[in-house]
A and B are shown apart, each in its own frame.
Chain A
Amino acid sequence: MFHREAGVFKTTYAADMALYPLPIAKRTVIILAILFGVILPLILPEYHLSILNLMFIAIVGALGLNILVGYTGQISLGHGAFMSVGAYTAANLAVRLDLPFWLTLPAGGLMAAAIGVLVGIPSLRIKGLYLAIATLAGQLIIEWTINHVPAISGGAQASIQVARPTVFGYSLSTQAHLYFFLLFFAVLAIIVTLNLMRSRIGRAFVAVRDQDIAAEIIGIDIFRYKLLAFAISSFYAGVCGVLYTYYFGIANYEQFQLIVSIDYLAMIIIGGLGSVLGTIFGAVFVTVLPLLLRLVLENVGSLFFSESELANVISGTRLAVFGGLIIVFLIVEPEGLNRLWRNIRSYFRVWPFSY
Chain B
Amino acid sequence: MRMADILSRVYVAALFVFVFLPILTSVVFSFNSDRFPTVPLGHFTTHWYETAFSRPEVWLAFKNSLIVAFCAASLSTMLGFVTAYTDFRYGFRFKTAYLALALLPPTIPLVIMGLAMLAWLGRLGLSGTLIGIIIAHTVMGAPFAMAICRMRLQQMDPALEAAAWNLGASPWRTMASVVIPFSTPALISAFCLTAAVSFDEFIVAWFVSGLNKTVPVMILEILQGNVDPQINAIGTVVFLTSITLVILAQLLILRRSAT
| Physical interaction between A and B | no
